[in-house]
Structures are given as structure tokens and as C-alpha cells.
Amino acid sequence: MNFATKTAAGPTLELARWISGLSWQALPPRTREVTRIALLDALGCGVYGHATPWAATLLAWARAGAPSRGTATVWGEAGPALRASDAALVNGTAVHAFELDDYHQAKLHPGAVVVPAAVALAEQLGASGERLVTAIAAGYEVMIRTSLALEPSAARLRGWHLTGVCGPFGAAAACASLLGLDGERTAWALGLAGTQSSGLWAFNADGTMSKRFHAGRAAQSGVMAAELAARGFSGPTSIYEFHDGGVLRAFSDASDAAPLTRELGAVFHLDSISIKPYSCCGSTHSYVDAALELRGRLGTPWDAGRRVRVGMAKVVDVQCGFDYVPGSALNAQMSLRYVVAAALLEGRMLPAQFSEQKLADPAIVRLAQWLELEHDPALDRLYPARFAAWIAAEDKGEWVRADVLDPLGSVANPVNAGGVIEKFRGINPRLPVDRIADAALHVERRSLGELLALLAGAGTKVLETA
């Protein structure tokens, strides 16, 4: 039965048909390049996150129910051990494990969802590098456009974590591309993905592991959705726009379907992803830049007794402006107060700044609690299109202010392939990073199996309190 004939063609079917027809040749050269960089960045983050407690717990759970012969590899281990959906779960959680993974200003982390899903299924299928790149590009585009259609600030202020909400769509799109599904079955995959969408910001209440889980679960849901659709399991072909239970109305009162298909195929939002140089929430990165600028202008060591004012958009205040009390690493990574204080005092914002000792450092805690946070309507008008920030510090009776419009790593202030390689080397020093980078950045001409084998045996020691 042709279920798609039950509804008029809308944005879901239009998006599905675009996914189904997308080819590697149709991708602009810059989009292919960004996709390969995103692949390398996700692999580096995933191998680093492999030994975190949350990734290790999910791996143990997946292994308990694993088939005798797996089809997909857990990054950092030797050879396939899990089915594709469970490998996507573990690897997605590992990529998002320590706030190092890429993000988009639509307020989500596409790399932690799309890349693990696509790599797991590509390995299972023995897909070519060109098909993998095409699938990742499709997944990023669908995930980002989904968030833009929800109006990300509005959805975020209702308590949704958009990586978990929009991620299943991106993973399903990537996997539908790899499976070669036609337009109708791709629409089913999107429908099955959307009915699994979730992800709540309540992790901020006590800094628990659930935020890391959202990315992995979204990747797993997308693989499952596409595989079920391939077997004939139908999903709603108007999952975005349907008036009763469609994603747009369910998750946001400010949603608009237009961004789903506007300039589809002509504009790739993937090109504007941000690569993280700092191990904290992307909405705080401009504040790290501003803090480092003030250190340079006012000198070091930083005088922790001077007054410091921090301007914030409303969404950043709700998300990251809470009072800082020493707790988990996630609590600190999401805390604007902690991030600014640690950046001012330490001059760095890397995994080492989130050790148990640093989280409770009396000087950092005191400064974090001393900061003066204030709402700035001008930043509201910029956010989230620009992750702008300012910090002002009192010096000899005068205020010295650092304004940052776009953080390091954003499309306006990018980190290129060389920067990603050095980031990978810094967090995974025991791996053959140059060989991994060569394989990932030339994946169309290299074996995916070879690339995954190079990740094995990292022996990364992750912070005990990560």
C-alpha cells in the first residue's frame, strides 16, 4: 500500500525526496571539505570520550545484548563488535562525552549524532567513502534545518535539548541515504525518527549523564528508523507539518516550516558549523575568548579581587547563568560563571580545567560566585545567529571591556583542518593522528575499515571525575 498517497505532498516529503536524490557530485566542493573535517573532529572527540563513565556504561549495556558477530566498531576498539544501531549509541555518547564536539548556532550538536550513525551503517554496508560523505552531508543538513524550523531559542526556552529533539532526523536522513531508500521510504524514516525525538534540559538540575546520552540515543534512533523503513515499516509522511502531533507544533509555538526546504540543495547549512576549541558549552565560547582577551590586556596573573561584569542574552542566562556550586564536570561545563572564572584565572579552557581539583578550587569558585551577570537586550537581538558576548573588568577605577561577536571556531572565525588535527593530537596523544587525518580527509579514496582500525588502542586516560 502506498501510504504517501494519503496526504498531500508537504515539507516532509519534499525533504525526503531531496535526501533520496542527493549525490556526492551534487555537493559543492566546500561542503565536501567541511564534511571531511567534521568526520575527523567527531572521530577525535569520540575516541577521547570512549573511556568516560557514561560511554563505558552504555558500552557494557550494549555488549550484554550484542549478537555473537557484530557489524560495527566502537571507536577506539579493534574490529566490529556491535550492531550498527548500538555502535551509533555508544559512539554518539562518546563524541558528546566532554563538550568537545562541533555545534551549529541552531543550538545543537550535529556531529555527535550524524557521524556515528552514518559511520556505523556505512561500515555494516561496506559503503564507499563518497556515499559516506553524501550521507553525512544529508544528515547535517536535515538536523540543522529541523532546528531552524522549530525556532531554536523558543524551543530551548521550553526546556528541550535540540540535539536530542532534532538528532533522530539527521541520523535517519544519513542512514536513509546510505540504504538508498526512495522518497517515500525516506519519508517513513523521517516519520519514525520524529516520533522518537526527545531530550530534556533537566540534566542541569544536578549535572547528570543524560545530556551525553541524548546524542547517542538520537544516533541510535535514526539508524533504527531508517532500517525499519527499509523493511517496510511505515512512518508518518507529514511528521513535521501535521496539525495534530507534528513535530513543529509539538515542540515550539514559534515554529515555521519554511526553513526545512528554503534554498534546499542551494544552501548547505553544514558549511557554517563551528568546531570547538574549548571543552565547554558552545554558548560560552565567546566568553572564553573575551576572558582571554582581557587577560592579555590587563596582564597576568589575574587579580581575582577586581569587579567583573558579564553581559548575557536571555537564553544564555536561562541555560548557563545559574549560580555555581562545585559538582560534576558537566555542571561546570554548562556554567557561564565557572567558565569565565576559570578562563580568567587559568588562561585555558580544556579538559584539564574540569578535574575534580579545579571544580572545587577556592579561587575559581570565589570568582565564579563574585561575577556580576546582567541581561543585555542587544545580545538578545543577535542570539542565536551570533553567539556574541562581552565581559568588562574594573581596572584602576575604569572599566575595560572585551566584546566578541563570533567565537573562535565559528564560521566567522574558523578552525580549519590543521586546527582540528592539532586538537585531535592534543586530546589523543597516543594515536597516529597524522595517519588518521590523512585517511579521514581523503575518505572518498580510502577504506573506512582502515580508518577505524587506526583508532584502536588509544589508551586514553580520561579525568576520573569527567
Q: Give helix 129-150 / helix 111-125 axis angle, nearest 10°.
A: 150
pLDDT in tens, 118-127: 999 999 999 9
Strand partners, 389: 404
Amino acid at 292: L
- Does 339 score more than 50 pLDDT? yes
Domains along the chain with CATH numbers: 3-272 (1.10.4100.10), 282-404 (3.30.1330.120)
Strand bridging mode 389-395 / 398-404: antiparallel
Total H helices, total E strands in the chain: 22, 4
Q: What pLDDT was estimated at residue 4? A: 43
Mean pLDDT for the stretch of residues 170-188: 98
Confidence band, pLDDT 50/70/90 cuts, at residue 67: confident
Confidence band, pLDDT 50/70/90 cuts, at residue 331: very high
Q: Which residue, among 312, 307, 250, has the nearest Cα to 281 in the 3D structure?
A: 312
- Does 201 score more than 60 pLDDT? yes
Q: What pLDDT was estimated at residue 2? A: 47
pTM attached to this predicted model? 0.94
pLDDT in tens, 367-394: 999 999 999 999 999 999 999 999 999 9
Residues 359 and 353: their CA atoms lie apart, in Å, by 8
Spatial contact of 406 and 387, defined as CB atoms under 8 Å apart: yes
- Longest Cα–Cα distance of the chain, Å, equals 77
pLDDT in tens, 253-307: 999 999 999 999 999 999 999 999 999 999 999 999 999 999 999 999 999 899 9
pLDDT in tens, 432-445: 999 999 999 999 99
Q: Report the mean per-residue pLDDT for the chain.
A: 94
Q: Which residue, among 25, 295, 423, 18, has the nearest Cα to 181 in the 3D structure?
A: 18
